[in-house]
Amino acid sequence: GGARAAFEFRGEIVTVPAEKGDVRNLTGSTGAHDRSPAWSPDGKSIAYFSDEGGEYRLHIRAADGKGEVKRHTLGGNGFYERPVWSPDGRKIAYIDNSQSLYWIDLTSGNVEKVASEPIYGPTALATLRPAWSPDSKYIAYTLGNKAAYHTVYVHDLAAGKSTRVTDGLSDAIDPVFDANGKYLYFLGSTDAGPVNQWFAQSNNDMRPSR
């Protein structure tokens, strides 16, 4: 692990060695925009979004560049972001241009929608970050609320249901599960409200404490 890193560079997906070796262009697709590479947990595959063919789809290919590319149609609102593999390597969570959270079953290609930001805004790209539980059965995420604070939710994939786990009275962001899946860690703030109101310039010199 840690021998190579994947990058999006000028519409290509490239991998770069940590120490010795050559830069490897995995896509070489001058006619397509390839974005947002994510390495699989076993290190054998790289997932990314590509508009090859006109609409963005999820592509998965071997990290060594060999073999065929597997393509998945996602059916959301285009321009996808932030692919995150489940620890078992069978699923990927991601968000789309409507600031909605989805996950896809890589075996069946089935896509499930988890939730959408209730108010569309420029800050959701920084806060709508899916985090998998170690057993790949749950996704933790946050959504904004009417007070411009964020609430943490946990989504049960099997039940197709999300449960709110914070009360919305503080700004809770960046949830992650601990290694054994028993606890959820997140950052909390009670003074982030003015900062989160992104449309007002009065918050330019404010910084929240978390």
Burial 191-205 (b: 16+ CB within 10 A, else e): ebbebbeeeeeebee
Measured CA to CA, the distance from residue 61 to residue 16 in angstroms comes to 16
Instruction: Provide the pLDDT for residue 101.
Output: 97
Helix locations, the chain, DSSP H: 124-127, 193-196
Q: How far is CA 132 from CA 58, 76, 175, 202, in A?
A: 19, 21, 10, 36
- What pLDDT shows up at residue 10? 94
pLDDT digits (tens, 9 = 90+) for 113-162: 999 999 888 777 778 999 999 999 999 999 998 888 999 999 999 999 99
Neighbours of 157 (CB within 10 A): 19
Q: Is 165 left (phi over 0), alpha (psi -120 to 50) or beta?
A: alpha
d(C-alpha 108, C-alpha 68), whole Å: 17
Mean pLDDT of 3-29: 94
Q: How many CA atoms lie within 13 A of 150 on its CB side?
A: 29
pLDDT attached to residue 41: 97
pTM of the prediction?
0.93
The predicted pLDDT at position 134 comes to 98
DSSP state of 201: G
Residue 193: predicted pLDDT: 79
- The pLDDT of 26-42, averaged and rounded, is 95
Cα distance between residue 102 and residue 57, in whole Å: 13
Q: pLDDT tens digits, residue range 39-91?
A: 999 999 999 999 998 999 999 999 999 999 999 999 889 899 999 999 999 99
Is 102 a residue whose pLDDT tops 70?
A: yes
Tell the residue number behind the tokens 């028993």, with chain if given.
182
pLDDT higher than threshold 80 for residue 1: no
